[in-house]
Structure 1
Amino acid sequence: MVIGVCTIDLDIPMSTSLKDKRQVIRSVTMRLRKEFNVAVSEVERQDARQTTVLAVVSVSSDRDYVHGLLTRVVQWVEKTRLDCVLVDYYIELI
Protein backbone atom coordinates (compact mmCIF):
# COMPACT_ATOMS: atom_id res chain seq x y z
CA MET A 1 0.00 0.00 0.00
CA VAL A 2 1.28 3.44 -0.98
CA ILE A 3 0.15 6.70 0.58
CA GLY A 4 0.80 9.80 -1.49
CA VAL A 5 0.82 13.22 0.15
CA CYS A 6 1.09 16.43 -1.83
CA THR A 7 1.42 19.75 -0.02
CA ILE A 8 0.45 22.73 -2.15
CA ASP A 9 1.40 26.27 -1.14
CA LEU A 10 -1.05 28.79 -2.59
CA ASP A 11 -1.33 32.57 -2.76
CA ILE A 12 -4.79 34.07 -3.15
CA PRO A 13 -3.95 37.66 -4.17
CA MET A 14 -7.53 38.84 -4.74
CA SER A 15 -8.62 37.84 -1.23
CA THR A 16 -9.45 40.83 0.96
CA SER A 17 -10.78 38.86 3.92
CA LEU A 18 -10.76 35.41 5.46
CA LYS A 19 -14.26 34.93 4.07
CA ASP A 20 -12.97 35.50 0.51
CA LYS A 21 -10.09 33.12 1.11
CA ARG A 22 -12.31 30.38 2.52
CA GLN A 23 -14.66 30.69 -0.45
CA VAL A 24 -11.76 30.05 -2.85
CA ILE A 25 -10.41 27.18 -0.73
CA ARG A 26 -13.85 25.57 -0.49
CA SER A 27 -14.18 25.72 -4.26
CA VAL A 28 -10.71 24.26 -4.85
CA THR A 29 -11.16 21.42 -2.35
CA MET A 30 -14.60 20.46 -3.64
CA ARG A 31 -13.42 20.40 -7.26
CA LEU A 32 -10.32 18.35 -6.39
CA ARG A 33 -12.42 15.82 -4.50
CA LYS A 34 -14.87 15.54 -7.38
CA GLU A 35 -12.32 15.47 -10.24
CA PHE A 36 -9.63 13.27 -8.68
CA ASN A 37 -11.25 11.37 -5.78
CA VAL A 38 -8.63 12.54 -3.27
CA ALA A 39 -8.74 13.77 0.32
CA VAL A 40 -8.01 17.51 0.67
CA SER A 41 -7.54 19.70 3.73
CA GLU A 42 -6.15 23.12 4.61
CA VAL A 43 -3.25 22.28 6.93
CA GLU A 44 -1.39 25.56 7.53
CA ARG A 45 -1.99 29.32 7.64
CA GLN A 46 -5.70 29.06 8.38
CA ASP A 47 -5.76 32.62 9.74
CA ALA A 48 -3.66 34.25 7.01
CA ARG A 49 -5.73 36.30 4.58
CA GLN A 50 -3.94 35.60 1.28
CA THR A 51 -1.92 32.40 1.70
CA THR A 52 -2.66 28.79 2.54
CA VAL A 53 -1.22 25.30 2.41
CA LEU A 54 -3.38 22.42 1.23
CA ALA A 55 -2.63 18.74 1.75
CA VAL A 56 -3.89 16.34 -0.91
CA VAL A 57 -3.78 12.62 -0.08
CA SER A 58 -4.38 9.47 -2.12
CA VAL A 59 -3.95 5.78 -1.26
CA SER A 60 -3.35 2.96 -3.74
CA SER A 61 -1.40 -0.23 -4.24
CA ASP A 62 0.37 1.24 -7.30
CA ARG A 63 3.18 3.73 -6.61
CA ASP A 64 3.26 5.12 -10.17
CA TYR A 65 -0.50 5.69 -10.17
CA VAL A 66 -0.39 7.73 -6.95
CA HIS A 67 2.53 9.85 -8.14
CA GLY A 68 0.86 10.47 -11.51
CA LEU A 69 -2.44 11.38 -9.86
CA LEU A 70 -0.83 13.92 -7.53
CA THR A 71 1.15 15.38 -10.43
CA ARG A 72 -2.11 15.83 -12.36
CA VAL A 73 -3.65 17.52 -9.30
CA VAL A 74 -0.81 20.07 -9.23
CA GLN A 75 -1.13 20.67 -12.99
CA TRP A 76 -4.89 21.13 -12.65
CA VAL A 77 -4.45 23.74 -9.90
CA GLU A 78 -1.87 25.62 -12.00
CA LYS A 79 -3.89 25.61 -15.21
CA THR A 80 -7.51 25.98 -14.14
CA ARG A 81 -7.49 28.06 -10.96
CA LEU A 82 -7.08 31.68 -12.00
CA ASP A 83 -8.07 32.94 -8.54
CA CYS A 84 -4.99 31.48 -6.82
CA VAL A 85 -1.28 31.19 -7.59
CA LEU A 86 0.66 27.99 -6.99
CA VAL A 87 3.81 29.04 -5.11
CA ASP A 88 5.31 25.63 -4.34
CA TYR A 89 4.40 21.97 -3.99
CA TYR A 90 5.96 18.81 -2.63
CA ILE A 91 4.96 15.21 -3.37
CA GLU A 92 5.90 12.50 -0.87
CA LEU A 93 5.17 8.79 -1.22
CA ILE A 94 5.05 6.72 1.96
Structure 2
Amino acid sequence: MVVGVMKLDLHLHAPQNLKEKRGAVKRIVGRCRERFPVSVAEVGSQDLWQRTEVGFCMVATSEADIQAVFSHIEDEIDRLALADVLHRDTEFLHYS
Protein backbone atom coordinates (compact mmCIF):
# COMPACT_ATOMS: atom_id res chain seq x y z
CA MET A 1 0.00 0.00 0.00
CA VAL A 2 1.24 3.46 -0.92
CA VAL A 3 -0.09 6.77 0.38
CA GLY A 4 0.62 9.78 -1.80
CA VAL A 5 0.35 13.37 -0.60
CA MET A 6 0.63 16.40 -2.87
CA LYS A 7 0.49 20.09 -1.99
CA LEU A 8 0.01 22.64 -4.78
CA ASP A 9 0.78 26.32 -4.31
CA LEU A 10 -1.58 28.12 -6.70
CA HIS A 11 -1.76 31.68 -8.01
CA LEU A 12 -5.41 32.55 -8.71
CA HIS A 13 -6.04 34.82 -11.71
CA ALA A 14 -9.23 36.78 -11.08
CA PRO A 15 -10.15 37.25 -7.40
CA GLN A 16 -10.41 40.85 -6.20
CA ASN A 17 -11.54 39.86 -2.70
CA LEU A 18 -11.75 36.83 -0.42
CA LYS A 19 -15.33 36.02 -1.46
CA GLU A 20 -14.29 35.66 -5.13
CA LYS A 21 -11.28 33.62 -4.02
CA ARG A 22 -13.50 31.21 -2.08
CA GLY A 23 -15.61 30.69 -5.20
CA ALA A 24 -12.56 29.89 -7.36
CA VAL A 25 -11.06 27.55 -4.76
CA LYS A 26 -14.43 25.84 -4.27
CA ARG A 27 -14.66 25.23 -8.02
CA ILE A 28 -11.12 23.77 -8.20
CA VAL A 29 -11.62 21.56 -5.13
CA GLY A 30 -15.06 20.41 -6.28
CA ARG A 31 -13.87 19.50 -9.76
CA CYS A 32 -10.95 17.48 -8.38
CA ARG A 33 -13.20 15.66 -5.90
CA GLU A 34 -15.69 14.65 -8.58
CA ARG A 35 -13.17 13.62 -11.24
CA PHE A 36 -10.39 11.93 -9.25
CA PRO A 37 -10.19 9.36 -6.41
CA VAL A 38 -8.52 11.75 -3.96
CA SER A 39 -9.21 13.61 -0.75
CA VAL A 40 -8.66 17.33 -1.23
CA ALA A 41 -8.79 20.49 0.90
CA GLU A 42 -7.52 24.05 0.98
CA VAL A 43 -4.62 23.85 3.45
CA GLY A 44 -2.91 27.24 3.40
CA SER A 45 -2.83 30.90 2.40
CA GLN A 46 -6.51 31.32 3.31
CA ASP A 47 -6.07 35.03 4.03
CA LEU A 48 -4.45 35.97 0.68
CA TRP A 49 -6.67 36.95 -2.25
CA GLN A 50 -4.69 35.49 -5.14
CA ARG A 51 -2.80 32.63 -3.52
CA THR A 52 -3.88 29.32 -2.07
CA GLU A 53 -2.41 25.98 -1.10
CA VAL A 54 -4.43 22.88 -1.88
CA GLY A 55 -3.58 19.45 -0.46
CA PHE A 56 -4.39 16.10 -2.05
CA CYS A 57 -4.15 12.58 -0.64
CA MET A 58 -4.57 9.21 -2.34
CA VAL A 59 -4.07 5.55 -1.42
CA ALA A 60 -3.15 3.01 -4.12
CA THR A 61 -1.12 -0.11 -4.72
CA SER A 62 1.75 1.65 -6.50
CA GLU A 63 3.50 4.99 -6.59
CA ALA A 64 3.10 5.11 -10.38
CA ASP A 65 -0.70 5.01 -10.10
CA ILE A 66 -0.68 7.94 -7.70
CA GLN A 67 1.80 9.93 -9.82
CA ALA A 68 -0.48 9.51 -12.85
CA VAL A 69 -3.52 10.82 -10.96
CA PHE A 70 -1.56 13.74 -9.51
CA SER A 71 -0.36 14.63 -12.99
CA HIS A 72 -3.96 14.54 -14.30
CA ILE A 73 -5.01 16.82 -11.43
CA GLU A 74 -2.45 19.42 -12.48
CA ASP A 75 -3.66 19.15 -16.09
CA GLU A 76 -7.26 19.65 -14.94
CA ILE A 77 -6.33 22.75 -12.95
CA ASP A 78 -4.63 24.13 -16.07
CA ARG A 79 -7.76 23.39 -18.13
CA LEU A 80 -9.97 25.23 -15.66
CA ALA A 81 -7.85 28.36 -16.29
CA LEU A 82 -8.57 29.70 -12.79
CA ALA A 83 -5.04 29.35 -11.43
CA ASP A 84 -1.40 28.64 -12.22
CA VAL A 85 0.61 26.06 -10.30
CA LEU A 86 3.56 27.85 -8.71
CA HIS A 87 5.01 24.95 -6.74
CA ARG A 88 4.32 21.25 -6.20
CA ASP A 89 5.41 19.15 -3.21
CA THR A 90 4.83 15.40 -3.36
CA GLU A 91 5.58 12.70 -0.78
CA PHE A 92 4.94 8.97 -0.69
CA LEU A 93 4.61 6.66 2.29
CA HIS A 94 5.12 2.95 1.62
CA TYR A 95 3.51 0.29 3.82
CA SER A 96 3.98 -3.42 3.43
TM-score computed with the length of structure 2 as normaliser: 0.89
The Cα shift of 1:13 comes to 2.8
Aligned to 1:18: 18
Q: What is the identity, as a one-letter code, of the residue corresponding to 1:91?
A: T
SS in 2 for 1:9: strand
Q: Distance in 2 between matches of 1:69 and 1:13?
A: 24
Structure 2 unpaired stretches of 5+: none
SS, match of residue 74 in structure 2: helix
Give me the whole-angstrom Cα distance separating, in 1, the residues matched to 2:58 and 2:31. Answer: 15
Aligned counterparts, 1:1-94, within 5 A = 1-78=1-78, 80-94=79-93
| Alpha-carbon offset, residue 93 of structure 1 | 1.2
CA distance in 2, matches of 1:68, 1:10: 20
Q: After superposing the two structures, state which structure 1 stretch, 38-47 or 62-71, moved more.
A: 62-71
Give the C-alpha shift of residue 77 in structure 1: 1.2
Separation in 1, partners of 2:28, 2:37: 13
Secondary structure, in 3 states, of the residue corresponding to 2:53? strand
> How far does residue 63 in structure 1 lie from its aligned partner after superposition?
1.9
RMSD: 1.1
Count of aligned positions: 93
Question: Where do 4+ consecutive residues of structure 1 move more than 4 Å?
Answer: none
The separation in 1 between residues aligned to 2:91 and 2:70, in whole angstroms, is 10
- Share of identical aligned residues, percent? 25
Letter in 2 for 1:45: S
CA distance in 2, matches of 1:50, 1:11: 6
Given that 1:67 and 1:93 are in contact with CA atoms closer than 8 Å, whether structure 2 keeps it comes out as no
| TM-score, structure 1 normalization | 0.91
